[in-house]
A = this chain, B = another copy of it.
């Protein structure tokens, strides 16, 4: 298993000459596991004293929005109930209840693993799809390789920067929008950051057609963020990109997926709930996201959080 950071593969590294993965360990994504000793320390953003925790996950229900390609999406079935195993005379007062979860990796708030996207049948770093794709999922760049993410997070509140409540359906966030956010908010994107883009779409979670018709991020803004060397990006919509639009330059749908995951090794987090964070004007924070290690999988549901230091 190779742990990797998000900065070494910053924009400009051509696909056929990726920087060696082993040289890309950076602050914020070092993980200690039994299989892997470590000799490095991680510089964490300061999280001490009083902080607020913002919960960035949308609730998971059968009715939540889902891309058609990821149907049947999600379902939870409670089948063992307390009443079924209550036999106090012989088993005592304790009973148990449990259920089963069926979910596509890309349902609800989730993170995309690098193996989720390919560029001319190559994964990030030039890994040939044919060599790693199989019955048990992917043997490289699958979701279990994503380290726990604990790093600086930055929120870009695009509607606020543009003076609107929420971006219109189909709107594509531009480079100029992103730069405007940075300026107005007084933040600067740094290598290793996780950048969360608010479009305002998160408030439509309970209205799937409207949610799916929402805005997204342009290919240009995706490339701009990739060039900054971020570790991951995220947004409050279904697919980061605007759905249903073919990029004229790249010739594909979801150009941000190609640019970020396949060409720069940058994770994408989707269906975030960013309203409370934006309401608090919390533009910089410690971002924590711990993808589950579904061995071989192309993504994982996650519950990211933002730790916001108390203002002095």
Contacts and interface: CB of A to CB of B under 8 A. Distances in A.
Interface stretch (A170-178, A186-194, A221-229, A248-256): A248-256
A71 B48 CA distance: 42
A184 interface: no
A133 interface: yes
A211 interface: no
Contacts of A144: 59-60
DSSP majority for the A interface?
mixed
B72 A307 contact: no
| Highest count of chain B CB atoms <10 Å: which of A93, A120, A121, A202 | A93
A218 B135 CA distance: 29
B101 A250 contact: no
Q: Count the copies.
A: 4
B99 A57 contact: no
A163 interface: no
Contacts of A83: 121, 129-130, 133
A147 B55 contact: yes
Interface in A202-217: 202-203
Contact of A79 (B50, B71, B79, B121): B79
Contacts of A29: 53
Given A78-B137, A97-B298, A144-B59, A42 B33 contact: no
Nearest to A119: B93
Contacts of A51: 41-44, 150
A54 interface: yes
Contacts of A258: 92-94
A276 B76 contact: no
A134 interface: yes
B275 A303 contact: no
